[in-house]
Structure 1
Amino acid sequence: MAEGETVKPAEKTAPGGVWTTLVRYASLVKISHTIFGLPFTLAAGILAHRAAVHEGLGDGVGMTALKLVWIVVAFTGARTTAMGFNRIVDRKIDAANPRTATRELPAGAISLRAAVALTSLAALVFIGAAAALGPVALALSPLCLVVICGYSLFKRFSWAAHLILGVALSLGPAGAWVAVTGGLDGFAIPGVMMVAVATWVAGFDVIYSLQDHDYDAEVGLHSIPVAFGVRGALWFSALLHVVTAAALVALQLLAGLGVAHIVGAVAVVAILIYEHWIVRPDDLSRIDKAFFDLNGWISIAYFAAMMIDVLVLA
């Protein structure tokens, strides 16, 4: 080594075995948060199955075990891609924010190269699963990737990032419909469900982002809480969830669903009301409960109601 030459330090990652590494990868992409979107995606698949079998959409076969597997693989691949991309492009923001500085990339638990590899692999898995689900799903897959990754960049210039996140999650029901029916015929039904999912997700993401209100305002990041204040953000979230309730009512009527779906929709609305009750402008201490616990129950309750309504009672 020449005199005065310096060695660039290698990127460090915390040591660990295979299981530890898998746990870190799962934490990086918040695999547990799959509970939010996947049940609604499968609920749309149930409606698509009914439409295929009773209305002859697509091949008339409807959902099969193989299609179900590919739908789950596609959803998981898409979601992993979106979360991985988000963590990669936000790594410097996360490092500077005390609340997020312990995330895997800023903390060095996972290297940037490994995160890029995981995200790229997930994108390929998603495209491969889309190809297995048919030509329409494959043709739409690049657009889906643009949407689900694009939302991560919106906070840099627009408070509408929450809405883009909602749209990204709402692509799940649309994808399930296309996967089961093979096309876009009868798309009004999943379209209404997309509205319900998009406004539900955007609404609870607004609540979640209240944790970073002060930091975002300080560094110039955009969000609904920064744009409208804490109280205004809670009102904005509530209005979004009113649209969620209206969309569920519209789906009930449009799809001709029965009493089980009514019970499920009422349960969703009741949980949303409770969520807004426990998070108040002068008390944000229960945001985590509102974000994960309550919204997890919403997705599970709704899927159970749809399954009972369409597959059992019908």
Structure 2
Amino acid sequence: MDTSAEPARPEIAAAGGIPWRYEGDQLLLAVVHRPRYDDWSFPKGKLEVGETPLLAAVREVGEETGLTVRVGRRLSSQTYRSGEADKVVDYWSMAVDQAGGDFAAGDSGGFAVNGEVDALDWLSPEDAVRRLSYDDDAGLVVDLQSRPLCPVRLLLVRHAKAGVSESWEGHDEDRPLDAEGRLEAADVAALLGLFTPRQLFVGGPLRCWQTLGPTAEAMALPLQALPALSAEGYFAAPQAARDAVRALLRTEGADVVVSQGGVIAELVAWLCRDDAPLTGVSPRRRQELPPERKGSVWAVSADDDGTVVGADYYPPQR
């Protein structure tokens, strides 16, 4: 009897999104037709070299649909056989930018026939399920509607690497990012830009300011001090810090807060204390001990009243 294990198949990484918008009270989803496969699906594609799944998802949705989107919460992933490999596709909810007002009747929102897609239709969730060619895609519609369609309103960032505190001879408040931390700060800027942040707040020492420096430059936004969310401020007066976070959750747009170890994990645990789901975290991880690696980001989704409906963890890329 041959007991040798079957070799693992290679994996192909891909990513995509479900673009959605409202027409009056009717939720509409964008589904695309690919002539190469003669199928209807949601826009997606393979990752390019050095690309993260979320960066790839936004790029693919833009290339295939021409839509400008605002990234929402992470959806379930799909795995299926593709030739001799397993293809793993990560998906996100993506609200379509309707800053110019509602679409005109029959308007596809900037779509033009391209090398991958020759048609885009806006359909109700029920009609989308009937149109989609694959059962897994229909499952994504169920996932999308399983929680309120709330935007990401808060992005919590743990500062990037800043060397070893024991080897720093100056005041700890002045300890700067190291070479790896500066690379992580650039990665953070690329990630945060996908959420179109509105304000950038810094709670903490120099390394926190430097972590958001590339984001501030790329987005042309000022960095604002928020002492209540520094480690010193938070642990001295946690209720005041939580009140500040609560106020941010009730505003329009996504606000960014960068702080130190302990603060980010405490805030995520408090925000999701009523069992709001966490994604990007091992299922074996206790809800009250969320991860907070240096250079990581938590994207928190909430409704207009500031009630949190979920949080997605984005670990550092390096």
* TM-score for both structures, normalised by structure 2: 0.23
- Larger fraction in strand: 2
Higher RCO (CA-CA < 8 Å; seq separation 6+): 1
- For normalisation by structure 1, the TM-score amounts to 0.23
